[in-house]
Structure 1
């Protein structure tokens, strides 16, 4: 009986307690759209929650009383309000979040575990919007980014091939991402560009230095993440844009159509783009034969947002027909010549290129055909106040390089690279102010040669896996973040034999009984590489607008396939590569320190870095005992990879003036400097001192159809490069130059203030300066020791006007 009475009393007490508890509900939105992942904290209740995919939030079991409810989200102004719980359920009015216009709180997701505010990250990070890229003349995506990020440069092979370098390091040391997925597309080659649609990227984030823990090997220089567009507008209507772009120098036409649709919880995006161009020209070389290109892109994605999180499926198709000049000319007239024979080809007796073929949109028979296909899924599952992020991707890169004039349909290089990527990240619930993430990521990759005649690399299999732990916490004015990662990479290949094709007379891969009389070009190889990487840094908020940042990071990079396995001619690069199987991984230790001031009338940024690299891998020309260049394939250079200690150091400085009293004026300036040495020599491919200044006049008024027009003038100063890798004449001195550019633009609206289109007009190299960039590979495309006009190699593009319109749909 006593037990029953006790049970009744307990039930009554419980009923009374729960009867007094209440529930708090509401919705958060911005720009008419619900906001997911907004954090809410209720003072005194000891808990926090986040909005779901429809912007809803809920607190349960709240005792009656007065609370302070705070709202915060990346990229939005934090706010709070006092509420009183008096009944079982309280539904608050919708909360409008205001976008934080200050770049102090720019949202950044690259190179870290979860969304991070720019001001809190100790790692040097730069962010570039599509609008900023639209205001420059861009033949390709990397060139668009280089013009907006100090410390970022590009090694180029003509106007449509640019490989990103961060602070003097490039190739596999810069990890390029598309929507967080590793870009895998034979990036080891000099003339292998980035297979992405420049019109389909809405935002670019650049991490400088080896502080990316999420992605593993190959990020010792930094990370570049290309983020595609996502529909975010009123439901039930199709919206998008149509872009038309024309360049006068190489006749480039760029066209892109992007469409988006939102319905209920679903978002759809589609884009189709195309570019074609004939050879570019300058006043020294005239039309540069072999620099035309034709590129097509298709992309699409579907995303749904639910209470449990979101999932997105996306696909991309890239197709590029790309010419590569070989630099052959007539020794006296300096006019371009072309190869017409395989056997018996004589550089001195090649015929001149007909005038009608110097400027034509027709792709010449000797060219590259690059195709890249990408399919991936991104999913986030909300697990209480934590979340699980899953990224699965598959890519295929197909590269054909045609270099046989007597058998044009026979590719010299034909490789197919298949990559499968996975990335799992668990964002743990916040614990005592600590936000942490644990993750596992990796890649399985196969490379196979097809019907080719040249084999610079073997067929190989690669498996990569690594795990990491990252955490960050704020102590008053100090934000601290860091983590550790361990990676393991296994790479192997079987014996690879090359023999003669009796039908064509060219080399071919042979197997089975045919290997008896064949050459063993790549003996079997089986090896594993391991590495530990990590970073630790802090940001000290002197005030809301004065910041000090410091970071120490250790990077790891396993040798790439050419560095350990190459043994043959890359016909597109005109280089015979020789690798070294005994190479060990690169490790670097970089120190960064920075000062940032966001003042009323100006922004100031100073970033200093020092980077020590163990086992740095680089290539140098192969010479014989007499110091003469070794020629393995006539007309092609021979490079051998080496490994040694190296050091890079430098600085980036920016000063942007935006006087409060003259809101129409902006004066932006940046400076980037880097030095690098190894074994008493300068490192190869170091960019010279680079200064960029831009003065921009922007009106807040409208002038007829022109809505808020702007006018800008730029000076792009590149100092002479005296610090070059001169051993065996691998590189030579490069003269300094200054390019002057100008641009104007406006939104064109009708009398009803409806936008018709955005107009961008830009002129680069206004005074048609003849110059050679130190990072242009065409500078070294020369076959004669002496030139009748005193100029060697191929010069960069001359004066170029760009006309671009972006029509909203």
Structure 2
């Protein structure tokens, strides 16, 4: 290993002297005018520039090799070019006017292409776009992406659902490394803030080829904000206010880049009281979140590296019933106190026509749950309830010091991801890689939800992208092994071989189809293998099953997309067959008045898709009509329905974009989301009535004191509809989801 690292260091140092420069001009394809302020970016090198008033650009200190370069500007179609460096000729690029939004490079797939050039279907949204829709949290924001929902416990706790699959069946990546934070539990949220996140990418369906075990249902990939461009410094101050929770979030950042070094810092704070409905506030849905992110990067001609650190501390109320009606923000008992540390290192060595990427991560999840003490007599309990509000909340401020956590787990995860991109051979781009994880879980509280254990993963993969004149093909295969060693107990190992095949082709003018076939797997988690006790918050006694096998699935995806200058149509369909699907089922007995549930297995299948259109009619390109329909059905082989399958939804939106002398990037929208009745429910669920939610918003950028200020105003559930989502964990108690909220936000650019 030392020899390997020494060789990398030698290659990095020796490559400092291999520096190249490119230059060129960007023109409007319709009239040959020179275009100023076009963004130019090398995603592999993370270097960029912008054209000057004459449409010209120059980028220095580039390594030799073959790289993708992007040219993007609002009002024009993004263009991607494969550039061989060194290049002695000036580059002339012509951009085609278009009302279609600019595209970005997809980072979650290995070949880093624009979505229109990608074989896999990946949804990408910017955090800025999601926040304009009035999202309170990251988990709330991702529900604006087609095919993605969230299992929620109030507003503070939410976890992603991709086409009906969630928990350990969906992998989350942040800062380029896999996030591990006890995601097996339904009441365990993401533990991440959207502050300092630039965009979200969603891979729908099995991605075990790229990410190994647990990526059976899909991947949520969070791209961190970029460092500052070379030789520049910038910062911002931002705040949002939410009328419903009388809550706020604030954020401040600074980043700078000079002499090959890059630095960034961002801090944020969010506080919310119990959310309101037309009839009541939902007691103990209040929460507080503190987040800090920092990064340092270093880059020379043929070597770049960065280190990022994120610490997120959240105190989250766990709602149980409707009780105290107040706008206090300090959580009541029971509540979670969670600290997530994410440390990541990303390094790349560029050779003349190949590259080596090394990503290393360490995640430390410290989870505490505090509950009501049960050893007081009735008089003491009555006396405590009669405390005045000031004394009551002063006591809560010191809960952590007075109470011992009923549940206290520490999950420590080290992971690595090494990929080597081979020199392009004719039509073939090929990548080989190894990935692995070492994880320990330790208990420190009175209760033990899952035992002390060690998990080790190792996987090896190979994948190729093949370019033909009329089609692109992607193939790949992977082998994985996982071992789970429980302290003084169970020792299990699981192995799986998975593959993927995809093809993208234009079957007619402006009509593109993608067909993807892939397998995936998920090894049983510790809870499913070893549970023995009452699971707080679910009111059931769970018994694990050490004989569980790995879930294995096969999914077929078909995507059709039509796109011209003013109309986009899409239809995405899928069929997902899962062998050995793990689920909970009661055995009819009780322990301490809690029904006993056992972990069982049976084959299952899911099917459905997303369909929609986007119209921006000529010549009023500033007007947009968007509509999408999402559906998914999940069943066991015995024809009973799977639980927690989202209802079918229809979303219609009218949006306008405008610019004036006094406002830039102006927009306004009205959106109507309709969730249909969900009558296809699991054996232990009840049907859920449909509902329609009306939202609207507007915003834009203004110049204040020679600085840009972005202002947003949005309203959600404007009719104050009382409704219950099928994926709300408060549904069994008949508790409504959030009512009307008016949200105000601004970002002041420094």
TM-score tier by shorter-chain length is 0.7 to 0.9
**3-state SS of the aligned residue for 2:195?**
helix
**TM-score using structure 2 length:** 0.85
Secondary structure of the structure 1 residue equivalent to 2:227: coil
How far does residue 674 in structure 1 lie from its aligned partner after superposition?
A: 0.5
CA distance in 1, matches of 2:342, 2:349: 23
Q: State the distance in 2 between where 1:82 and 1:479 align.
A: 21
**Paired residue secondary structure (2:643):** coil
Are 1:427 and 2:368 matched, yes or no? Answer: no
- Residue 173 (structure 2) aligns with: 177
Matched, 1:362 2:362: no
Structure 1 partner of 2:247 = 252
1:260 shift after superposition: 0.9
1:460 aligns with 2:453: yes
Change (3 A) 1:203 1:28: farther
* Aligned twin of 1:632: 591
Partner of 1:790: none
Q: Which residue of 2 aligns with 1:161?
A: 157
Give the direction of change, closer, same or farther, for the CA distance of 1:100–1:292 in structure 2 (3 Å limit): farther
Cα distance, 1:645 vs structure 2? 0.4
1:731 corresponds in structure 2 to 685
CA-to-aligned-CA distance 1:571-618 (integer Å, 9 cap, x gap): 355443321110000110000111011112111110010000000011
Match of 1:262 among 257, 261, 284: 257
Shift of 1:474: 1.1
Matched, 1:300 2:241: no
Contact 1:401-1:571 at 8 Å conserved across structures: no
Deviates further, 457-466 or 127-136: 127-136
Higher radius of gyration, 1 or 2: 1
What displacement does 1:410 show?
Answer: 1.8
CA contact (8 A) 2:471 2:506 kept: yes
How far did 1:470 drift? Answer: 0.3
Corresponding residue number in structure 2 for 1:482:
475
Structure 1: segments with no counterpart, 5+ residues? 1-22, 40-51, 60-69, 84-88, 328-335, 338-352, 496-523, 625-629, 783-792
CA deviation map 1:183-202 (0-9, x unaligned): 10000111100011212110
Deviations 1:260-281 (A, max 9, x none): 1011212211110110111111
Pick the aligned partner of 1:118 from 115, 118, 142.
115
Deviations 1:694-724 (A, max 9, x none): 101222334xx44353221110100000100
Inter-partner Cα distance in structure 1 for 2:712 and 2:523: 43
Aligned residue in 2 for 1:690: 649
Aligned equivalent of 1:6: none
Distance 1:676 1:428 in 2: 40
Aligned to 1:388: 356
Q: Describe the SS at the equivalent of 1:282.
A: coil
Equivalences, count: 677
Q: Is the 8 A contact 2:435 2:458 kept in 1?
A: yes
**Number of the residue aligned with 2:105:** 107
Give the corresponding residue for 2:726. Answer: 774
Aligned to 2:372: 404
- For the 8 Å contact 2:296–2:306, the answer to whether it is kept is yes
Query: Does the CA-based 8 Å contact 1:176-1:224 persist in structure 2?
Result: yes
- 1:663 paired with 2:658, answer no
Distance 1:598 1:604 in 2: 7
Change (3 A) 1:136 1:676: same
SS at match of 2:210: coil
- Match of residue 12 from structure 1: none
Q: Is the 8 A contact 1:200 1:228 kept in 2?
A: yes
What SS does structure 1 have at the residue aligned with 2:483? strand
Q: Does 1:608 align with 2:590?
A: no
Task: Give, in whole Å, the separation in 2 of the partners of 1:553 and 1:294.
Answer: 40
CA–CA distance in structure 2, aligned partners of residues 217 and 648 of structure 1:
19
Residue 285 of structure 2 aligns to a residue in which SS? coil
Measured at CA, do residues 34 and 719 of structure 1 come closer, stay the same or move farther in structure 2, by a change above 3 Å? closer
247-256 or 93-102, which moves further after superposition? 93-102
Contact 1:550 1:591 in 2 (8 A): yes
Distance between the aligned counterparts of 1:616 and 1:81, measured in 2?
47
* Superposition map of 1:65-76 within 5 A: 72-73=68-69
Choose which of 46, 56, 59 in structure 1 pairs with 2:62. Answer: 56
**Are residues 1:740 and 2:694 paired?**
yes
After superposition, the C-alpha distances for 1:415-446 in whole angstroms (9 at most, x for unaligned) are 00000001110111101120000000010000
- Quote the Cα distance in structure 2 between the aligned partners of 1:129 and 1:253: 21
What does residue 595 of structure 1 align with? 560
Match of residue 635 from structure 2: 677
SS at match of 2:182: coil
Q: Is the 8 A contact 2:208 2:498 kept in 1?
A: no
Aligned equivalents of 1:569, 1:446: Cα separation in 2: 23
Change (3 A) 1:658 1:461: same
Aligned residue for 2:332, secondary structure, equals coil
Alpha carbons 2:21, 2:59 under 8 Å: kept:
no
Structure 1 pair 93/461, CA: closer, same or farther in 2 (3 Å)?
same
Q: Structure 1 pair 57/411, CA: closer, same or farther in 2 (3 Å)?
A: closer
Structure 1 residues 258 and 684, CA gap change in structure 2 (3 angstroms)? same
Task: Give the match for residue 735 of structure 2.
Answer: 794
**Where in structure 2 are the equivalents of 1:199-278 lying within 5 Å?**
199-233=195-229, 235=231, 237-278=232-273
Question: Is the 1:177–1:224 contact (alpha carbons within 8 Å) kept by the matching residues of 2?
Answer: yes
What is the distance in 1 between the residues matched to 2:567 and 2:433? 40
Which residue among 302, 305, 311 is the counterpart of 1:317? 311
DSSP-derived class of the 1:218 partner: coil
Q: Which runs of structure 2 are paired with 1:109-148 in the superposition (5 Å)?
A: 109-110=107-108, 112-147=109-144
CA distance in structure 2 between the aligned counterparts of 1:322 and 1:297, rounded to whole angstroms: 14
User: Cα gap change, 1:28/1:532 in structure 2, threshold over 3 Å: closer, same or farther?
Assistant: farther
**Distance verdict in 2 for CA 1:685–1:567, change over 3 Å:** same
- C-alpha distance 57-443 of structure 1, shift in aligned 2 (>3 A): closer
Name the residue aligned to 2:542.
577
Taking a change above 3 Å as real, the CA distance of residues 633 and 749 of structure 1, as seen in their structure-2 partners, is: farther
State the Cα deviation string for residues 178-232 of structure 1 (Å, max 9, x = none).
0221010000111100011212110111111113522100111111100110123
Q: CA deviation at 1:664?
A: 1.8
Structure 1 length-normalised TM: 0.79
Match of 1:701 in 2: 660
Q: SS of the residue aligned with 2:139?
A: helix
Distance in 1 (CA, whole Å) between partners of 2:430 and 2:83 is 28
2:436 to 424, 433, 442: 442
User: What CA distance in whole angstroms lies between the structure 2 residues aligned with 1:137 and 1:748?
Assistant: 20
Q: Which residue of 2 aligns with 1:518?
A: none
2:710 paired with 1:758 = yes
Q: Structure 1 pair 230/179, CA: closer, same or farther in 2 (3 Å)? A: same
Query: How many Å separate the matches in 1 of 2:116 and 2:484?
Result: 40
Separation in 1, partners of 2:320, 2:668 = 39
Q: Give secondary structure in 2 for the equivalent of 1:116.
A: coil
Query: Residue 64 of structure 2 contacts residue 84 of structure 2 at CA under 8 Å; is this kept in 1?
Result: no
3-state SS in 2 of match to 1:287: coil
